[in-house]
Homo-oligomer: A and B are copies of this chain.
């Protein structure tokens, strides 16, 4: 048999999807599974975004512009301007979700053996995309006890080597829900400038801030960072359009955008229908996003309060996004999560979580932790929490 690549053999499995087979087996046995493992919103997309597709009158699906249609990029600029982010269409490359934006970004800034610094726990696919490009992730631990705030800037600086190409954060963070402050972004920006590297910020959860007094500060709002800032975005979570696979990378660095366009040319173009639906969503009334944000904030309160009532459970209170990290009174949350799918049901129902160890790159961290996405309605979240409580009792016996 021919030999496969080391890269492919060593590619880490997704912590979000790794237990899928056990969930499938549970469903096959007739068990209802509450999916709190994935970031798949259950809220309706803006109706305009789906109507535009139903009313489309295409006779065939042609390739589009590799960088995304000008109209779509103009719509993005208008949306960004509402968030105090001033960019032009030529600063944007439209991608197949934030996923492709991350892949393009890494390809544009790093060669094999280069390094990217990422505070952990982090979105596991940052690790995957880095591995796929033979780039080394240099993790720096942020702590449950500190609500996962930015580690001391000196400890980040200490990780910078001649191979370091960027610092990457997700703001607000998947999986922790931590919201980086303007001060923290500026501190990271100073480091990027000092060492002539990039600051990449994944802002796909920008809209979901659970406190009306707090504003999101985009890396593209920083006046001094121009050439060093790259922002990742996506319509997936914001408009419940995960299956559209439409995102973008945005930067004022023209050389970077020119190279990203070459990678975009390679894969020809974003998907036609997806772009139509996404454009309609971006142009939909702002009341849509307000209602969605309110719904997630309500769910957050309900979920956190229910979790805090469970004996031995500790919760990190997220300021943004729709995830929280939960510490369980178990030795290995990975085994516990699997057990909940294979061996436990309550009234023929169970819950699927994402074990948090897979969001850490340093071995041994997050073993007692899970990530919960509050992407089900309040009633279901309460029921899922009830099942968790019962499962923990059974498991400890």
**Chain A residues packing against B (C-beta within 8 Å):** 1-9, 11-14, 17, 38, 40-45, 50, 53-56, 58-64, 66, 96-97, 99-100, 103, 107-112, 114, 125, 128-129, 132-134, 165, 192, 196-198, 227-228, 240-245, 253, 255-256, 259-260, 262-263, 265-274, 277
Contact = CB atoms under 8 A, between A and B. Distances in A.
Given A63-B38, A125-B266, A270-B245, A259 B2 contact: no
A268 B97 contact: yes
Contacts of A110: 5
Main secondary structure of the interface of A (DSSP, over half): loop
A269 B255 contact: no
A46 B100 CA distance: 29
Contact of A66 (B11, B17, B228, B241): B17
A243 B62 contact: yes
A103 B132 CA distance: 11
Given A242-B62, A243-B272, A265 B108 contact: no
B256 A4 contact: yes
Contacts of A134: 111-112, 134
A5 B63 contact: no
Contact of A5 (B103, B107, B272): B107
Contacts of A274: 61, 271-274
Given A5-B110, A60-B240, A125-B266, 9 more contacts: A8-B259, A40-B62, A45-B61, A50-B56, A63-B242, A64-B243, A111-B134, A134-B134, A273-B277
Contacts of A268: 97, 99, 242, 245
Given A61-B241, A240-B60, A111 B266 contact: no
B5 A109 contact: yes
The 3 closest A-B pairs by CB, nearest first: A243-B272, A61-B243, A8-B259
24 contacts: A1-B227, A2-B192, A2-B197, A2-B253, A3-B165, A6-B111, A8-B109, A11-B263, A14-B262, A45-B61, A50-B56, A50-B58, A53-B56, A60-B240, A61-B274, A99-B268, A112-B134, A128-B265, A132-B263, A243-B272, A271-B271, A271-B274, A273-B274, A273-B277
